[in-house]
Amino acid sequence: MTDEQFEREKNYCAAISIAKSLLAKGLISERNYRKIDTIYIKKYRPVLGGLKAGNP
């Protein structure tokens, strides 16, 4: 994994962690979580994080 790929992965994981927390607290719906995840996958293009897309 290159440094750039690592940075994208790290940024994706940090961003999706916040979305997971909001989902767990009931502040967003499962549907909204999936939309957010899709946006973050397109934005960060994670190497590993995108493999489990949609799974909170």
The pLDDT of residue 50: 61
Looking at residue 56, its pLDDT comes to 55
Q: Which residue has the tokens 């994706």?
A: 12
Residues in the chain, pLDDT under 50: 54
Which pLDDT value is given to residue 29? 98
Q: Give residue 52's pLDDT.
A: 59
Q: Which residues of 6-38 are buried (b: 16+ CB within 10 A; e: fewer)?
A: eebbeebeebbeebbeebeeeebeeeebbebbe
pLDDT at 31: 98
pLDDT of residue 27: 98
- Rounded to two decimals, the pTM is 0.81
